[in-house]
Structure 1
Amino acid sequence: MTKMIIHGGTCLSGDVTIGGAKNSTVALIPAAILADTPVQLNMVPDILDVHNLMLILKSMNVRSEFADGMLTIDPTNIVENILPSKAIKSLRASYYFMGALLGKFGEATLSFPGGDNIGPRPIDQHIKAFEALGADVTNNNGTVHIKAGKNGLHGAQIFLDLVSVGATINAILAAVKVKGSTVIRNAAKEPEIIDIVTFLNNMGAKIRGAGTDVIRIEGVEKLEAKNTHIVIPDRIEAGTYLSLAAACGDGVTVHNVIPEHLESFIAKLLEMGVDLEVNEDSIFVPKCDHFKGTEIKTMVYPGFATDLQQPITPLLLKANSRSIITDTIYPERTKHIPELSKMGANIKYRNGSIVIEHTDKLTGQEVSAGEIRAGAAAVIAGIMAEGTTTIYNADNILRGYDNIVDKLTELNADVELLNDDM
């Protein structure tokens, strides 16, 4: 375990470059085992989730090498094996091995996935998709067994009762090599899904409709990587740095951004009075002194992302009027509230919404990163605050933010990581 020490009150300036999307990468790595050749992924973020996924690959005799953003995965000698439960439970996205292994071997057995505790996140829609494809699914004391039924796997009509990124991707991974046609309706539309489909199609998959609510798949026998796949930029990391730059920046340029992926977030910053300069692949945030309060309701893409409601919260503390956040995706995503309150934030959870009032100043305190995005909120608040902030459980931050200490230091923040026992 590590802790992050932040000496606050500094004014940030300069340039920061966004890494590859965490939420793409954690699905691309399980997807790679479907390939019949080695695979190369570029612009892979250096985060703990990637290293934990590499441990899972190793348990299946899948070689992987990671350096300077390039991840090489060789699944040609893959073997079925019991996956390491500690690594599986360390991140939610380990559940993508369910679909990938079912598509590869016709069966999968793994512990129930872990990850951030941000409220109920059932996998019933994933199971519904697997069963539609002809699999039998059982859950024995937290271990999920998925196996092709007596008639084998087959193309199917899948209707997701709820829009789910995870279920959409898992259904794609399970169906891409299954004989026949599969149609996924009420599919999620996130950019990360388009990224996964682009990766698979470049290897020979036949998938249409990514980015819409209907995805059509014609099963193929082989997937062969011919080119290096470049991971799309991380829109959540980008939004986090945009919030930070607006809150305590004196001119910050955020590079390697796809602004179209951030339209709902950018709209809220503009509504607050942040005078952004949006370019083709970068966004400049000038020094901002006056902010207006706003109301935010998280929605499925292209709405305001649930992953960005916590990183924007410290900025809302500077607004001259009340702000209200209602998270319709994960209403229990509130672990940042008590930590920000310790620092002096005027913030409450009331009637299912987060109510944020103007706060004159924050003071450095000992706080905890309850999960990835709550940790990001604590980092921004710590840089805004007077004095020193110590963030415990900083491993949660490292799970989702690529080289965060180096990037913050280059912006003039005073940040360091220490072992928790120091």
Structure 2
Amino acid sequence: MDSILVTGNGPLNGQIPIAGAKNACLTLMPATLLSEEPLTLTNAPRLSDIKTMTALLQSLGAEVSSLQDGQVIAMSSHNLTSQTADYDIVRKMRASNLVLGPLLARFGQAVVSLPGGCAIGARPMDLHVEGLEGLGAEIELKDGYLHAKAPGGLKGAVHEMRFASVGATENIVMAATLAKGTTVLKNAAREPEIVDLVECLRKMGAQISGEGTPTIEIQGVDRLHGATHQVVTDRIELGTYMLAPAICGGEVELLGGRMSLVESFARKLDAAGVSVTETGNGLNVARKNGRVRAVDVVTEPFPGFPTDLQAQMMALMCTAEGTSVLEERIFENRFMHAPELVRMGANIEVHGGTATVTGVESLKGAPVMATDLRASVSLILAGLAAEGETTVSRVYHLDRGYEHVVRKLEGVGARIERIKGQ
């Protein structure tokens, strides 16, 4: 099993290109199931999760081709052979459940295994099920599979979600595009990935308004057509690499970055003593003077502080001046990186959904283990600022969400290498 060796060696300087968004691309790919005509995505990230979604779509009979070194994905669902998403594929990644809404909308039936992914909480499907049942679907759980049907087709309705779930919003919106009548989805998620999905669906002929607000209205149409769509910039990769110069010092420009994608995160960095400014090509990030200051963080749905940047922010707070409190309100079990950071000399106390971090002068390199995708990169960031060598094991998590992480960090002066497993 591969590992990553990081040796702390001071400030970072240069440019890092930011890829297309993993979470957006994984949502856009199932949209091909809504139409017989081709859907082409550009600016696609080159990640193992994308390969998993490709395998899932192909298992349903979709044609999926990776072009231009993986940055273009060409898809066609004109001749699907199955409406069953098997456990062997779905268990690898929770985004696999996003085939449920499109299959149900187009074919009136779907059988989808309960999803897997990182071990950061149960991530139940109840909000997805409630929304689709609100559109007239009949859904039953049998032997670990959701068996869904809508014999007379889906019908528009007014539905208010109990929680602004991103995945449930995406599933319901895609299903509603082919439903009869108008669907009004209240308490909808507002994330940029939702906006990106709606922009793509609109290119395919969907009639949708209100994306980016808590109320989305979808007027169902008889059919959708093909389209070409550019995947939005990955705001989580952007935020992650914004933390590299914040932790190590130096100045780094993130190519393709947009302030609108990371406003709440950038405000926290500013409060901590890190400068974030827009440039003609992206965002420029530099630590202002000396140690960063401790700041408190509460994870919230967009536009609040992203849960997917909590682990990386904790790595920054480990060497901040003062004490910070990080409260996780989105997922349970999302502090599994804390004991690994403690191995590097961090002072962290975890009580339920709250972590208290008292900054130390410096971290020490140590062998650590990644427990999930964002935890893996938080340990790499900590290693960049630590004295000596840090070896991060189980980095297969990393491959799910960050392309060419070693190359990108090497490009700004980091001492980092991937060690092939035996």
**Which TM class, normalised by the smaller chain length?**
over 0.9
Deviation at 1:351, TM superposition (A): 5.5
Corresponding residue of 2:53: 53
Corresponding residue of 2:253: 253
Whether contact under 8 Å (2:239, 2:265) holds in the other structure is yes
Whether contact under 8 Å (2:11, 2:245) holds in the other structure is no
Q: Can you list the C-alpha shifts for 1:67-115, whole angstroms capped at 9, x where unaligned?
A: 3311111211222153342221111111101112111211111211001
The 1:335/1:302 distance shift into structure 2, 3 A limit, reads same
Whether contact under 8 Å (2:273, 2:287) holds in the other structure is no
Whether contact under 8 Å (1:31, 1:100) holds in the other structure is yes
Quick check: 1:178 aligned with 2:196?
no
Corresponding residue of 1:355: 356
Whether contact under 8 Å (1:362, 1:381) holds in the other structure is yes
Quick check: 1:87 aligned with 2:89?
yes
Corresponding residue of 1:266: 266
Deviation at 1:9, TM superposition (A): 2.8
Unmatched segments (≥5 aa) in structure 1: none
Taking the aligned partners of 1:95 and 1:268, their CA distance within structure 2 comes to 33
Moved more, 310-319 or 93-102: 310-319
Q: Can you list the C-alpha shifts for 1:165-184, whole angstroms capped at 9, x where unaligned?
A: 11111101111111111111
- 1:128 pairs, out of 110, 127, 130, with 130
Whether contact under 8 Å (1:371, 1:396) holds in the other structure is yes
What one-letter code is carried by the residue in structure 1 that aligns with 2:79?
N
Taking the aligned partners of 1:48 and 1:396, their CA distance within structure 2 comes to 9
Deviation at 1:161, TM superposition (A): 1.0
Taking the aligned partners of 2:188 and 2:17, their CA distance within structure 1 comes to 31
Unmatched segments (≥5 aa) in structure 2: none
Moved more, 170-179 or 140-149: 140-149
Root-mean-square deviation (CA, aligned residues, Å) is: 1.5
Q: Can you list the C-alpha shifts for 1:211-235, whole angstroms capped at 9, x where unaligned?
A: 1111111111221124x21111011
Quick check: 1:377 aligned with 2:378?
yes
Taking the aligned partners of 1:85 and 1:281, their CA distance within structure 2 comes to 42
Moved more, 30-39 or 236-245: 30-39
Quick check: 1:395 aligned with 2:380?
no
Q: Can you list the C-alpha shifts for 1:237-290, whole angstroms capped at 9, x where unaligned?
A: 111001112111321111111211211000000001112223365121224423
Corresponding residue of 1:221: 222
Quick check: 1:338 aligned with 2:339?
yes
1:197-208 equivalences in 2 (<5 Å): 197-208=198-209
Corresponding residue of 1:105: 107
Taking the aligned partners of 1:10 and 1:365, their CA distance within structure 2 comes to 17
Deviation at 1:352, TM superposition (A): 3.3
Taking the aligned partners of 2:141 and 2:354, their CA distance within structure 1 comes to 34
1:34-49 equivalences in 2 (<5 Å): 34-49=34-49
Whether contact under 8 Å (2:153, 2:179) holds in the other structure is no
Whether contact under 8 Å (2:56, 2:90) holds in the other structure is yes
Taking the aligned partners of 1:45 and 1:415, their CA distance within structure 2 comes to 21
Taking the aligned partners of 1:247 and 1:106, their CA distance within structure 2 comes to 51
Corresponding residue of 1:311: 312
Whether contact under 8 Å (2:9, 2:415) holds in the other structure is no
Whether contact under 8 Å (1:259, 1:281) holds in the other structure is no
Moved more, 29-38 or 87-96: 29-38
Taking the aligned partners of 1:269 and 1:203, their CA distance within structure 2 comes to 38
SS of the residue corresponding to residue 262 of structure 2 reads: helix
Structure 1's consecutive aligned runs of 4 or more residues displaced over 6 angstroms after TM superposition are none
Whether contact under 8 Å (1:163, 1:187) holds in the other structure is yes
SS of the residue corresponding to residue 407 of structure 1 reads: helix
Deviation at 1:318, TM superposition (A): 2.1
Taking the aligned partners of 2:383 and 2:268, their CA distance within structure 1 comes to 23
Whether contact under 8 Å (2:329, 2:353) holds in the other structure is no
Whether contact under 8 Å (1:258, 1:281) holds in the other structure is no
What one-letter code is carried by the residue in structure 2 that aligns with 1:162?
F
Deviation at 1:408, TM superposition (A): 1.3
Question: What TM-score do you get using the length of structure 2 for normalisation?
Answer: 0.96
Taking the aligned partners of 1:124 and 1:295, their CA distance within structure 2 comes to 31
Whether contact under 8 Å (2:60, 2:80) holds in the other structure is yes
What one-letter code is carried by the residue in structure 2 that aligns with 1:279?
T
SS of the residue corresponding to residue 301 of structure 1 reads: coil
1:67-86 equivalences in 2 (<5 Å): 67=67, 68=69, 69-86=71-88
The 1:81/1:187 distance shift into structure 2, 3 A limit, reads closer
Moved more, 62-71 or 319-328: 62-71
SS of the residue corresponding to residue 98 of structure 1 reads: helix
Taking the aligned partners of 1:222 and 1:351, their CA distance within structure 2 comes to 47
Percent of matched pairs sharing the same residue: 36
Taking the aligned partners of 2:79 and 2:171, their CA distance within structure 1 comes to 23
Corresponding residue of 2:16: 16
What one-letter code is carried by the residue in structure 1 that aligns with 2:375?
A
What one-letter code is carried by the residue in structure 2 that aligns with 1:128?
E
Taking the aligned partners of 2:3 and 2:329, their CA distance within structure 1 comes to 31
Quick check: 1:119 aligned with 2:155?
no
Whether contact under 8 Å (1:258, 1:280) holds in the other structure is no
What one-letter code is carried by the residue in structure 2 that aligns with 1:357?
T
Deviation at 1:10, TM superposition (A): 4.2
Taking the aligned partners of 1:278 and 1:326, their CA distance within structure 2 comes to 29
